[in-house]
Amino acid sequence: MALCLESGYTSLNKHNEELCGDRVESTVSGDYTTLVLADGLGSGVKANILSTLTSKILCTMVSNDISIEECVETILQSLPVCKVRGVAYSTFSVIHMNGQGKGVMFEFDNPQAILIRDCKCRDFEREELNVLGKTVYKTALDLKAGDIVVVMSDGVIHAGIGMTLNLGWQRPEVMEYLDGNVKPGMSARAVACLLAGVCNDLYLGSPGDDTTVAAVKVRERLPVSLMIGPPVDKEKDDFYIGRFLAGAGKKVVCGGTSSQIVARYLKTTVRASFDFPDKDVPPIGFIDGIDLTTEGVLTMRRLLELSEKYVSPGDLTPKTFTKKDGASLLAQLLFEEATDVHFFVGQSINAAHTGLPIDITMKLKLVESLAANLKKMGKNVVIDYD
């Protein structure tokens, strides 16, 4: 069973602050992903500088297997000292883990990380280290498919203090909320947004502190192949479709002409749906042997809009898609479920678009913009032009 890691985060800026004092940095080196969440002292520009330096230094050093002692020493020597408080201070949580869920986590002064297994929260076993007079906690990670590690800044457990709650909601309440609301199959990003969204509600939409949630999930690979548009050379239709259908994973066909060609190849027909869950998105179709069949350019345009919101760290709308229109079904499959996306883009000019403001360059731009956003989500993306 091929496993891989996916990560996602979201941040709320302190009310009236342009810059966030928390910073999430991640890097992939070989089979290992290193993710750092740093929270700089105070808020605004100073905190942003402290957390940016901390996260970048830690990410670079930990991903190169440098000891935590050296990492902490480097941070203490690198951070500028605050004139008012006389300290150079940034908390951090570091996850360094391979695709099989094996690795290590270090935590310094952030709220303790939470393990979500089978949609229920657990605590990690932690070992206390004394590093240059600082208490750093170390956890050996050995996770299995479906496990999610959630790390957060203290804005999460301060949410609602003096507003909706007297003492904020503490870590046990955070875990209780996640227990009741994390659903099977949710991506790392969906879980991060779920928790940040409820913090924003407790702050009544005006966060009293920078608040960041990051999550890393161990999951099984799911490749998705997506065909949009017929190939230029009609003689080679069968060759291109054979190649599109050959790979593992789920298959999606976008566009009327593409659907007809694929149905003919599979010796079946395209059945149309007459449901309009969204009046702005054309209805989907059905082809036996294909997981999802949608209209082309209009659906892709809506999908691109959904992807822009999905990758924005400040967007708190739920990351799971429950609507049944073509764009929402495609978004759920590509953003939440897929790990690898392979586009098969036919460059034939569609006769149905003659006289309409839809041309081949627009379709290619849509695919390229969508591919860029999928890469931001951490997907492996391949585009073949036929």
pTM of the model: 0.91
CB 334 within 8 A of CB 374: yes
Residues 165 and 236 placed together within one structural domain of the fold: no
CA distances from 94 to 38, 104, 149, 208 (A): 9, 8, 11, 25
Q: Is the pLDDT of residue 243 over 90?
A: yes
> In the chain, what percentage of residues exceed pLDDT 90?
78
| Average pLDDT for 307-323 | 92
Higher pLDDT, 158 or 120: 120
Token representation of residue 116:
């979500």
Q: Is the pLDDT of residue 357 over 70?
A: no
pLDDT of residue 178: 97
Last residue of a domain, one of 220, 246, 269: 220
Q: Is the pLDDT of residue 125 over 90?
A: yes
pLDDT of residue 352: 56
Give 231-242 pLDDT, tens digit per residue: 888 888 899 999
CB 138 within 8 A of CB 129: yes
Residues 215 and 235 placed together within one structural domain of the fold: no
Residues 152 and 265 placed together within one structural domain of the fold: no
Give 65-90 pLDDT, tens digit per residue: 999 999 999 998 888 876 776 677 89
| Cα 97 from chain centroid (whole Å) | 17
Residues 294 and 233 placed together within one structural domain of the fold: yes
Give the C-alpha separation, 324 to 385, whole Å.
Answer: 29
Among 341, 349, 242, 244, which residue's Cα sits nearest to residue 297? Answer: 349
Give the C-alpha separation, 168 to 162, whole Å.
Answer: 8
| Average pLDDT for 260-277 | 93
Residues 140 and 287 placed together within one structural domain of the fold: no
Give the C-alpha separation, 51 to 22, whole Å.
Answer: 6
Give 15-43 pLDDT, tens digit per residue: 999 999 999 999 999 899 999 999 999 88
Question: Which phi-psi region, left, alpha or beta, contains residue 175 (left: φ > 0; alpha: ψ -120 to 50)?
Answer: alpha
pLDDT of residue 353: 53
DSSP 294-319: E-SHHHHHHHHHHHHHHH-TT--S-S
pLDDT bracket for residue 247 (50, 70, 90): confident
Give the C-alpha separation, 345 to 355, whole Å.
Answer: 22
Domain that holds residue 287: 223-385
pLDDT of residue 164: 62
Give 141-197 pLDDT, tens digit per residue: 999 999 999 999 999 998 887 766 666 688 999 999 999 999 999 999 999 999 999
Residues 214 and 284 placed together within one structural domain of the fold: no
In the chain, how many domains are there?
2
Which range (161-170, 173-182, 266-275, 298-307) has the least confidence? 161-170
Runs of H (alpha helix) within 128-253: 171-181, 188-202, 237-246
| Average pLDDT for 110-138 | 95
Residues 22 and 143 placed together within one structural domain of the fold: yes
In this structure, the chain runs to a length of 386
| Average pLDDT for 275-294 | 94
- Helix 297-311 / helix 360-376 crossing angle, nearest 10 deg: 30
User: What's the mean per-residue pLDDT of the chain?
Assistant: 92
Three-class secondary structure of residue 360 per DSSP:
helix
Token representation of residue 58:
């830690």
Give the C-alpha separation, 217 to 116, whole Å.
Answer: 9
Q: With 0-12 CB in 10 A as exposed, 13-18 as middle and 19+ as buried, what is 293? A: buried
Last residue of a domain, one of 220, 246, 281: 220
| Average pLDDT for 288-300 | 95
Among 2, 8, 1, which residue's Cα sits nearest to residue 378? Answer: 8
pLDDT bracket for residue 270 (50, 70, 90): very high
Three-class secondary structure of residue 110 per DSSP:
coil
Last residue of a domain, one of 185, 203, 220: 220
Residues 227 and 213 placed together within one structural domain of the fold: no
Residues 77 and 206 placed together within one structural domain of the fold: yes
Residues 170 and 193 placed together within one structural domain of the fold: yes
pLDDT of residue 80: 81
Give the C-alpha separation, 355 to 311, whole Å.
Answer: 34
| Average pLDDT for 211-230 | 96
Q: What is the CATH number of the domain that holds 73?
A: 3.60.40.10
Residues 90 and 181 placed together within one structural domain of the fold: yes
DSSP 41-102: SSSHHHHHHHHHHHHHHHHHHHHTT--HHHHHHHHHHHSPPPTTT----EEEEEEEEETTSE
Residue with token string 């759920």: 332
Residues 157 and 303 placed together within one structural domain of the fold: no
Give the C-alpha separation, 384 to 284, whole Å.
Answer: 24
Q: What are phi and psi of 148, to 5 degrees?
A: -130, 135
